[in-house]
Chain A
Amino acid sequence: MDWLGPEEWSAVALSLQVSFWATILSLPLGIFVAYALARWSFPGKQLLNGIVHLPLILPPVVTGYILLLTLGTRGPVGSFLADWGIVFAFRWTGAAVAAAVMAFPLMVRAIRLSIEAVDPKLEQASATLGAAPVWVFLTVTLPMALPGIVAGTILAFAKAMGEFGATITFVSNIPGQTRTIPSAIYAFLQVPGGEGAAMTLVIVSVVVAMGALLLSEVIGRRVAARVGGK
């Protein structure tokens, strides 16, 4: 790939790595939160809903700054984790956290809608056939909500690929460490003659985003056909 310089290539590889881990690791929590919001009633449900959606509404810089305050090495959570050797600030892992937090509302929203579309009467039928609640979830709710889970995952991945504001605030813009595609484009545009490299990355961004959308369409359609045409 000689049309991609080492600096550009490192940004692309880092973006893929950050987005992959951000999506995969937040998926179980995303399904859990979506299920809780869709099926349970508990005190503080609206508060949880609000917190989940907050990154969608807040300026990304604010989200990044809040992450820095809490997860930074001097922050309450960050200093505790640092004792265990886990450091997020100015590391690629921090970029993954920022991307995961920013993509989380999109993921939860898609999954929640698909869980709400599963007929509770089918879950009741499963229970009367002897399935304990965990098995009802694994054999009925989860497979029937699969199209939404796939869509939510891919949407979250695409969002993570494009995350900029929270990332640059929380983990800065360190080449090879935290310089993802958007940060790299921003950096290239700050120096004279960087427009060419920036344009290459813009094209990569568009291709990845389009690819993710197409993939989600294809997988979504296949899964939907498998789970009964819904």
Chain B
Amino acid sequence: MLEVSVRHAFDGFTLDAHFSAPPGLTVLFGRSGSGKTTLVNAVAGLLMPDAGRIAAGSWVLLDTDKAIRLKPHRRRIGYVFQEGRPFPHLTVRQNLAYGAWFAPKDAPREDMGRVIALLGIGHVLDRRPDALSGGEKQRVAIGRALLSAPRLILADEPLAALDEARKAEILPYFERLRDEVNIPILYVSHSASEVARLATTVVALDAGRVIAQGPAAEVLGNPAVLPVGAREAGAVLEARVVRHHADGLTELDAGGIALFLPLVSQPPGSLLRVRIAAHDVILSRGRPEGLSALNILPGVVREVRAGDGPGAIVALDTAGGRVLARITRRSAATLGLVPGMAVHAIVKTVSVAASDVGGARAHRA
């Protein structure tokens, strides 16, 4: 259990954040300027906050009341920076070995060969970082952090500097870290689809404060977390693969509701997380007939939240989980949507992008 409580004032900005994270991957989620990077730098010891307490289990990194302020090199934290920061004067192999040189001799270590295989960097071991692609550099940075025998891994928007193709290349490695390596991970992101794929727990930050924390589906389904106008608004459903159809569709089961997605690679029986963007959901009061959309989820309106503009976010509970729909305020009025009302959410199959579907073998606290 990671417990973080940090108070720090800059000019014009106060960070006052408290959260606790169960094992697994915890995403610090929020817009830029919400204090995410400041918070991870405080955990890493690169920033000494005015006051606070940071502890992983019984191991205390910072406790200003007791005047405990561990130096960064004593914190045993594997930090994966946004730009990777591999050492340019060392080869990939030396970069990977770097952290291990300084780790205590009795610390539990990852096997170098296993990490190299996990990250797929066996073919670049003798190269220097400037001869690597952006994605390869980032994988080396992950491996270097992992091999320093860390008690906690920090990742500060590790995909932000990469293009979409490279992001898709790295994301599965974080899923594997989460599922195969028994080290808690604190992951900073402002991308809802990264959160949906990776998070065991989400801590949502806004203006230096924690506004929500909990399991991914719960936090992302909370209309307060994302501004109504935000394009990334969307909820996460967990669904099990039923079968792959010959016409290029995969059928899933979400709490008894059949969902059809473009073909996914996971075999039948595996549990998936599917992010459904709020702007891709249509609401209907009666069960629609003669519609091309394949996915119809009956549910009950939980909350209607109007934004400053013409939009509104409707949260509804279905048998498969919470779904968010972004509609106009006019439609909400025309349909007379109020909490407790039965509606149907309609989602086009093709609007679910492959990057929004991820394996869901997440740890549950």
What's the interface size class on B, roughly? 20 to 34
CA gap between A132 and B85 in the complex, in Å: 18
On whether the beta carbons of A129 and B98 are closer than 8 Å, the reply is: yes
- Can you name the residue of chain B whose Cβ is closest to the Cβ of A130? B102
CB distance from A140 to the nearest CB of B (A): 6
Of the residues A121, A130, A135, A139, contact of B76 by C-beta under 8 Å: A130
Is B78 on the interface with A (CB-CB < 8 A)? yes
Q: Is the CB of B72 within 8 A of A124?
A: yes
A131 interface residue, CB < 8 Å from B?
A: yes
**Interface of chain A, helix or strand or loop or mixed?**
helix
Contact B148 A129 (CB under 8 A): yes
A132 and B128 form a contact (CB under 8 A): no
Q: Is B103 an interface residue (CB 8 A)?
A: yes
B89 and A144 within 8 A (CB): yes
Give the number of A-B contacts (CB < 8 Å).
72
The answer, yes or no, to whether A85 is at the interface (CB within 8 Å) is no
Closest chain B CB from A5 CB (angstroms): 48
**Does the CB pair A228–B128 fall under 8 Å?**
yes
Report chain A residues within 8 Å CB of B73.
127-133, 136
CB <8 Å contact, B99 and A129? yes
Q: How far is the CB of A93 from chain B (nearest CB, A)?
A: 37
Which residues in chain B, 46-90, are within 8 Å of chain A measured between CB atoms?
A: 46, 71-79, 81, 83, 85, 87-89
A125 within 8 A of B: yes
Q: Does A226 contact B (CB under 8 A)?
A: yes
- Let me know if A75 is at the binding interface, CB within 8 A: no
The answer, yes or no, to whether B126 is at the interface (CB within 8 Å) is no
**How many Å lie between the Cα of A143 and that of B98 in the bound state?**
14
B-facing residues in A113-152 (Cβ within 8 Å): 119, 121-122, 124-133, 135-136, 139-140, 143-144
Q: State the CA gap A129–B89 with chains docked (Å).
A: 16
Taking a contact as CB atoms under 8 Å apart, the answer to whether B98 and A228 are in contact is no
Within 8 A of A (CB), among B131-164: 144-145, 148
B144 touches A129 (CB 8 A): yes
A129 touches B130 (CB 8 A): no
Among B44, B98, B144, find the residue whose CB has the most chain A CB atoms closer than 10 A.
B98
Smallest Cβ distance from B86 to chain A, in angstroms? 8
A229 at the interface (CB under 8 A from B): yes
**Given known A-B contacts A128-B75, A129-B98, A131-B73, A122 and B85 have beta carbons under 8 A apart:** yes
Given contacts A122-B88, A128-B45, 13 further A-B contacts (CB under 8 A): A125-B87, A128-B46, A128-B75, A128-B79, A129-B98, A129-B148, A130-B101, A130-B103, A131-B73, A133-B73, A143-B89, A228-B130, A229-B88
Can you list 12 pairs linking A and B with CB atoms under 8 Å apart?
Answer: A121-B83, A122-B85, A122-B88, A125-B87, A128-B72, A129-B102, A130-B99, A130-B148, A136-B73, A144-B89, A227-B88, A227-B89
- B-side residues, CB < 8 A to A, are 44-46, 71-79, 81, 83, 85, 87-89, 98-99, 101-103, 128-130, 144-145, 148
For the complex of A and B, list the 7 residue pairs with the smallest distance between their C-beta atoms, beginning with the closest: A130-B102, A228-B88, A227-B89, A129-B99, A128-B79, A127-B72, A125-B85
